[in-house]
Amino acid sequence: MTAVLDTRTATGPAPLRLGALTVDPAVVLAPMAGITNPAFRTLCREFGAGLYVCEMITTRALVERNEKTLRMVRATAEERDAFSVQLYGVDPATVGRAVEMLVDECVAGTRPAHVDLNFGCPVPKVTRKGGGSALPWRRRLFEDIVTAAVRAAGDVPVTVKTRIGIDPEHHTYLDAGRIAQDAGAAAITLHGRTADQLYSGTADWSYIARLVETVDIPVLGNGDVWEADDALRMVAETGCAGVVVGRGCLGRPWLFGDLAAAFAGSSSRALPTLREVAAVMHRHATLLTAEHGEQHGCADFRKHVAWYLKGFSVGSATRRALAMVSSLDELAELLAGIEDQPYPTAVLGEPRGRTTPPRPVALPEGWLADRDDPRPPAGAELEVSGG
């Protein structure tokens, strides 16, 4: 793949150690609903190295052995030594049971090397019931959930992912970090936004730096890592032990190769031509087809088209056709008809994926009244995995 040289010489952090698991480079693929399935994880792994987390798995659905959830939690052959699962749950007993199923019963087909707990989801359907990024406000409940997961996991490292807080008046990240550390969490990831920001504006990395100063466990930084040099800058500015990448890799799985190079001190960065991007697109669709069958695999691939083609000069008719593709042969024919062109460097560093505007966080009535209420929020358990 075509590469460009820049003048950066900084290196990234040391390999990340989570219990017996070593993540080198210290780069983690953030769970994204409908995105980080086995096909996308495989594609990212082919370009780089790190830890690739599956789509969010809800503990209730796992405990109830929901068929879709059991399929989603299956590890691929390439993940046998480093299968990573993110769990969402609001009840300590259910979370503990779900971790037991993963670690002791190996319902994923292999014993996971790492379990992450989601306390960062900001979407209203989750926060209005007290889940996701709303839950750390109830610090005793948060403590009970993390404790239950760590106890059930045994020697499998458990980490926590959260946000700064609910809004500017209700920060939770420092308490969450201290509690997670005391409960035995191996690391904590902080997204530099509050829940009311959703994915708007700019992530504030200064909160990541403050959390690094507050806790002894590794802190991973998340938010607005669009390019490898952003990751270097985040590490330099915050002292974080690694980075978690979400939207930045949408339509750009080669970003993980850039990150591996940057963390090793190399200035090599990938700038694929449109022909090279087309090959990656076809590979992605092929992996999805192998997983879901051609019809469903190609249908699932459609949402990736705009991300892959961002900034390229491709006619609207061709874009529409690609967004309706139904077979690998059709995809190959459409891609072959596009004239090759260099990578559009103007889009480097630009946001990708969701850019929803900020809005007040929907919370259960009385949620903010008692931070030490340990009761799980009623009706907050999700029945479907993936977000």
The answer to whether 298 is a known catalytic residue is no
Q: Map residue 330 onto helix, strand or coil.
A: helix
| C-alpha closest to that of 260 among 43, 12, 31 | 12
The whole-angstrom separation of Cα 6 and Cα 2 is 14
- b (16+ CB within 10 A) / e for 324-335: ebeebeebbebb
Answer yes or no: are the C-beta atoms of 268 and 6 closer than 8 Å. Answer: no
CA distance 261 to 48: 9
Q: Which of 44, 54, 121, 249 is catalytic?
A: 121
Instruction: Please indicate if the annotation marks 191 as binding a ligand.
Output: yes
Could you list the beta-strand ranges (E) of 169-253: 170-171, 187-191, 219-222, 242-245
Query: Is 281 within any annotated ligand binding site?
Result: no
303 is in an annotated binding site: no
**Is the separation of the CB atoms in 159 and 115 below 8 Å?**
yes
165 marked as part of a ligand binding site: no
User: 86 a known binding residue?
Assistant: yes
- Measure Cα distances from 309 to 71, 135, 321 in Å: 30, 38, 13
Q: Dihedral of the CA atoms 231, 113, 21, 227 (nearest 10)? A: -10
- The reply, when asked if residue 68 is annotated as ligand binding, is no
Cβ pair 113, 79 in contact under 8 A: no
Residue 330, CA distances (Å) to 255, 299, 311, 327 in order: 27, 12, 23, 5
Of all residues in the chain, what percent are helix, strand and coil, respectively (each to 5)? 40, 15, 45
Quote the CA–CA distance of 382 and 387 in Å, as a whole number.
Answer: 8
Is 8 annotated for ligand binding? no
- Give the Cα separation of 145 and 116 in Å (integer): 12
Looking only at the bridges linking them, the beta strands covering 21-23 and 16-18 are antiparallel
> Is there a binding annotation on residue 247?
yes
Annotated binding residues for FMN: 31-33, 86, 161, 191, 246-247
Annotated binding residues: 31-33, 86, 161, 191, 246-247
Active site residues: 121
